[in-house]
Structure 1
Amino acid sequence: MNLSDREFQREILRFVKESYPHPAFADALNQRFGGSELSAHLHYLDNHGLIEMNASRLCGPEPMERLVSATITAKGIDYLEADGGLGAELGIVTVRLDTNQLREMLDKRIAESPGPESVKDRLRAKVLQMPEEALGQLSHRLFEILLGKAPDLIAHLRLLIS
Structure 2
Amino acid sequence: MSLDRSLQLKLLEYMAAKYPYHWDFYNDFPEGSENYEAALRNLYYLMQHELVEKKSLTLSNYNGTGFNLIIHLPTISQKGMDFLADDGGLSAILGVVTIKFEADTLRTILERRINQAEATPEHKQSMIDGIRELPAESIKHLTMKLLDEGLDNLPNAIVLIGTYLGLS
Give the TM-score band, short-chain normalised: 0.5 to 0.7
Change over 3 Å in CA distance of 1:92–1:6 after alignment to 2: farther
Is residue 2 from structure 1 mapped to residue 10 from structure 2 by the alignment?
no
Match for residue 32 of structure 1 among 30, 33, 38:
30
Alignment correspondent of 2:75: 71
Distance 1:22 1:157 in 2: 53
Distance 1:24 1:157 in 2: 54
Distance 1:88 1:46 in 2: 20
Unpaired segments ≥5 residues, structure 1: 94-152
Residue 158 (structure 1) shift: 8.3
Distance 1:91 1:50 in 2: 16
Residue 156 (structure 1) shift: 5.7
Distance 1:43 1:7 in 2: 15
- Contact 1:20–1:71 (8 Å) recurs in 2: yes
Match for residue 89 of structure 1 among 84, 93, 101:
93
Change over 3 Å in CA distance of 1:60–1:14 after alignment to 2: same
Structure 1 vs Structure 2: percent identity of aligned residues?
A: 31
Match for residue 148 of structure 2 among 138, 151, 155:
155
Structure of greater Rg: 2
Q: How many residues align?
A: 99
Distance 2:41 2:88 in 1: 25
Amino acid at match of 2:147: I
- The structure that is strand-richer by fraction is 1
Distance 2:11 2:44 in 1: 12
TM-score, normalised relative to structure 1 = 0.52
- Contact 1:58–1:66 (8 Å) recurs in 2: no
Distance 1:92 1:32 in 2: 38
Distance 1:39 1:72 in 2: 14
Distance 1:79 1:87 in 2: 9
Alignment correspondent of 2:133: none
Amino acid at match of 2:42: H
Alignment correspondent of 2:61: 58
Residue 79 (structure 1) shift: 0.5
Distance 2:149 2:88 in 1: 27
Distance 2:25 2:79 in 1: 21
- Contact 2:44–2:57 (8 Å) recurs in 1: no
Is residue 23 from structure 1 mapped to residue 22 from structure 2 by the alignment?
yes
Change over 3 Å in CA distance of 1:85–1:61 after alignment to 2: same
The CA RMSD measured in Å over matched residues stands at 2.8
Amino acid at match of 1:60: N
TM-score, normalised relative to structure 2 = 0.51
